[in-house]
C-alpha cells in the first residue's frame, strides 16, 4: 500500500531529492513525473514522457526537490483554486463534485484532482472566480518544494488515484483558448502555428509566465519536432507585448475600422456615425457609400423613419462624410 504523503517539510534528512524519492511511488500508481525548476519543466518532451522516460529523468536529476506530471496523458484533471481561500475551495467542490485528493501548494492555494473526462485547459472560465480547469498542460505535484514553500497532500493518498471521480458540471473552455493540437505540426508551419496559438491564449493569460507555460506545452506536444527554447521565448515575448499594447485581436471576432478623421467629422452627427458604421459592418472598409432609401427599413433594431434616413444620406457630402443618397 502506498503511504499517504507526509508533511514535506520534515523527515527527508539524508535522503535523495524529493523527485528521486517520489518518482517510483508515482510510477507505481501509473503517473509519469518529471523534474520542475522555477515552476517550469526541466526537461523537453515532458507532455509525451511515459514511465520509462520518467525513470530516466530520475537518474539525471537525483537532487531535485520539485516535480510535476502532465494532466491529459496521466488521465487527471486538476481544479486549480488560485487563492488560499478554503471557502472558495468548498464552494468549488460543491459545484464540481467531491474528490478524495486535495493538494495545498507552497503559496497556500489548492488543487482538487479528478479523473480526466475530456476537459481541456480553461483559464478563468468564470472571470469572477480565480479558478482554472487544467485538463491539459502540467501541474506541480506534492510533496514538491519550491521557492514559496512545499506542496502538501492535505486529503487522500496516492492509493486514491485509482478511484478519482470525473468532474461534474464541467465548464467548456472559452472559445478563444487554443487547445493543444492533436495533429502534429510539421516544419515550415511551426512558428506560425505557435504565434497564432500564443496570440489567442495571451488574451486569457494572467502573466507572461502563464503564457510561457502554455507555449511550452503547445511546442512540446503539438510539433513533430519542437522549436528551440529561444524561438519559443521570442514568440511569447512578442505575443505578450502586442497584447499588453492593445494590439491583439486574435479570438476577438470581426471588427470595424473607423479612422480618427471619421470620428472627428461625425462626432457631432450621431446618425451619420451610426449609418457609416453599419455600412462598413455590412460592406467592408470602402471610401464612399451610396445609401438607397430602402435601407431605412433594414437598420438594426428598429427601422429608421425615411425622413431620418434621408436627413443623413442626402446631406452628408457637405459635411465631408462619405455617404451619398441613391434616390
Query: Do 68 and 151 have their domain in common?
Result: yes
Rounded-to-integer distance, Cα 149 and Cα 105, Å: 8
Query: Do 127 and 206 have their domain in common?
Result: no
Rounded-to-integer distance, Cα 180 and Cα 178, Å: 7
Rounded-to-integer distance, Cα 8 and Cα 3, Å: 13
Query: Do 279 and 242 have their domain in common?
Result: no
Going by their DSSP bridges, the two strands 149-150 and 102-104 should be labelled as unpaired
Answer whether residue 4 is part of any domain: no
> Which of these ranges, 64-73, 156-165, 238-247, 248-257, has the smallest mean pLDDT?
248-257
Strands (E), the chain: 33-37, 40-41, 67-70, 76-81, 102-104, 110-115, 121-122, 131-134, 138-140, 145-146, 149-150, 152-155, 289-292, 323-326
Q: What is the pLDDT of residues 182-237, one digit of tens each?
A: 445 666 788 888 988 899 888 888 888 888 888 887 887 667 677 887 888 899 99
Query: Do 60 and 149 have their domain in common?
Result: yes
Query: Do 47 and 112 have their domain in common?
Result: yes
Query: Do 120 and 25 have their domain in common?
Result: yes
| pLDDT at residue 269, rounded to an integer | 77
Query: Do 243 and 281 have their domain in common?
Result: no
Domain boundary among 163, 182, 215: 163
Answer whether residue 316 is part of any domain: yes
List own/partner pairs for 274-282 with CB under 8 A and 24 or more apart. 275/299, 275/309, 275/312, 275/313, 275/323, 276/321, 276/322, 276/323, 279/323, 280/256, 281/256
Answer whether residue 141 is part of any domain: yes
Domain boundary among 224, 252, 280: 252
Q: Which of the residue ranges 142-146, 277-281, 303-307 has the most confident prediction, judged by mean pLDDT?
A: 142-146
Q: What is the pLDDT of residues 54-90, one digit of tens each?
A: 999 999 999 999 999 999 899 999 999 999 999 999 9
Q: For the beta carbon of residue 45, count every other beta carbon within 10 angstroms.
A: 13
Answer whether residue 10 is part of any domain: no
Q: How confident is the model at residue 156 (pLDDT cuts 50, 70, 90)?
A: very high
Query: Do 100 and 233 have their domain in common?
Result: no
Answer whether residue 187 is part of any domain: yes
Query: Do 244 and 210 have their domain in common?
Result: yes
Rg (CA), the chain: 27
Mean pLDDT estimate for the chain: 81
Query: Do 79 and 107 have their domain in common?
Result: yes
| pLDDT at residue 190, rounded to an integer | 86
Q: How confident is the model at residue 155 (pLDDT cuts 50, 70, 90)?
A: very high
DSSP 298: G
- 172 pLDDT more than 60: no
| pLDDT at residue 274, rounded to an integer | 81
Query: For 225-254, what is the mean pLDDT?
Result: 83
The count of domains in the chain is: 3
Output 220 or 303, whichever has higher pLDDT: 303
> Which of these ranges, 21-35, 150-164, 180-194, has the smallest mean pLDDT?
180-194
Where in the sequence is the domain holding 246, given as residue range(s)?
174-252
Query: Do 292 and 230 have their domain in common?
Result: no
Domain boundary among 141, 163, 185: 163
Query: Do 105 and 194 have their domain in common?
Result: no
Task: Please give the model's pTM, rounded to 2 decimal places.
Answer: 0.56
CA 178 from centre of chain: 7
| pLDDT at residue 215, rounded to an integer | 86
Please state the length of the chain. Answer: 327
Answer whether residue 103 is part of any domain: yes
| pLDDT at residue 287, rounded to an integer | 64
Answer whether residue 223 is part of any domain: yes
| pLDDT at residue 24, rounded to an integer | 96
Q: Using the structure block, give the residue that is written with the C-alpha cell 478511484.
A: 163
Rounded-to-integer distance, Cα 143 and Cα 150, Å: 6
Answer whether residue 118 is part of any domain: yes
Amino acid at each position: 500500500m502506498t503511504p499517504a504523503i507526509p508533511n514535506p517539510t520534515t523527515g527527508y534528512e539524508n535522503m535523495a531529492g524529493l523527485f528521486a524519492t517520489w518518482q517510483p511511488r508515482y510510477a507505481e500508481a501509473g503517473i509519469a513525473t518529471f523534474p520542475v525548476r522555477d515552476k517550469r519543466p526541466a526537461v523537453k518532451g515532458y507532455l509525451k514522457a511515459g514511465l520509462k522516460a520518467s525513470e530516466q529523468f530520475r537518474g539525471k536529476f537525483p537532487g531535485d526537490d520539485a516535480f510535476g506530471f502532465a494532466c491529459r496523458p496521466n488521465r487527471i484533471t486538476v481544479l486549480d483554486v488560485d487563492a488560499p481561500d478554503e471557502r472558495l475551495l468548498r464552494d468549488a467542490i460543491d459545484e464540481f463534485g467531491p474528490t478524495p485528493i486535495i493538494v495545498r501548494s507552497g503559496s497556500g492555494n489548492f488543487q482538487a484532482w479528478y479523473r480526466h473526462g475530456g476537459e481541456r485547459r480553461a483559464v478563468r472560465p468564470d472571470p469572477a472566480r480565480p479558478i482554472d480547469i487544467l485538463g491539459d498542460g502540467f501541474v506541480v505535484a506534492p510533496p514538491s518544494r519550491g521557492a514559496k514553500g512545499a506542496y502538501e497532500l492535505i486529503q487522500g493518498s496516492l492509493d486514491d488515484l485509482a478511484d478519482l471521480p470525473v468532474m461534474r458540471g464541467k465548464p467548456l473552455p472559452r472559445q478563444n483558448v487554443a487547445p493543444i493540437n492533436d495533429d502534429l505540426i510539421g516544419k515550415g508551419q511551426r512558428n506560425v502555428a505557435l504565434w497564432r496559438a500564443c496570440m489567442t491564449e495571451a488574451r486569457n493569460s494572467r502573466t507572461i509566465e502563464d503564457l510561457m507555460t502554455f507555449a511550452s506545452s503547445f511546442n512540446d506536444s503539438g510539433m513533430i519536432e519542437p522549436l528551440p527554447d529561444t524561438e519559443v521565448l521570442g514568440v511569447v515575448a512578442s505575443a505578450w507585448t502586442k497584447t499588453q499594447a492593445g494590439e491583439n485581436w486574435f479570438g476577438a471576432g470581426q471588427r470595424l475600422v473607423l479612422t480618427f478623421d471619421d470620428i472627428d467629422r461625425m462626432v457631432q452627427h450621431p446618425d451619420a456615425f451610426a449609418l457609416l458604421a453599419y455600412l462598413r459592418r455590412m460592406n467592408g472598409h470602402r471610401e464612399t457609400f451610396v445609401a438607397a432609401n430602402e435601407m431605412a427599413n433594414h437598420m438594426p433594431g428598429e427601422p429608421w423613419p425615411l425622413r431620418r434616413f434621408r436627413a443623413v444620406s442626402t446631406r452628408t457630402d457637405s459635411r465631408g462624410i462619405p455617404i451619398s443618397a441613391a434616390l
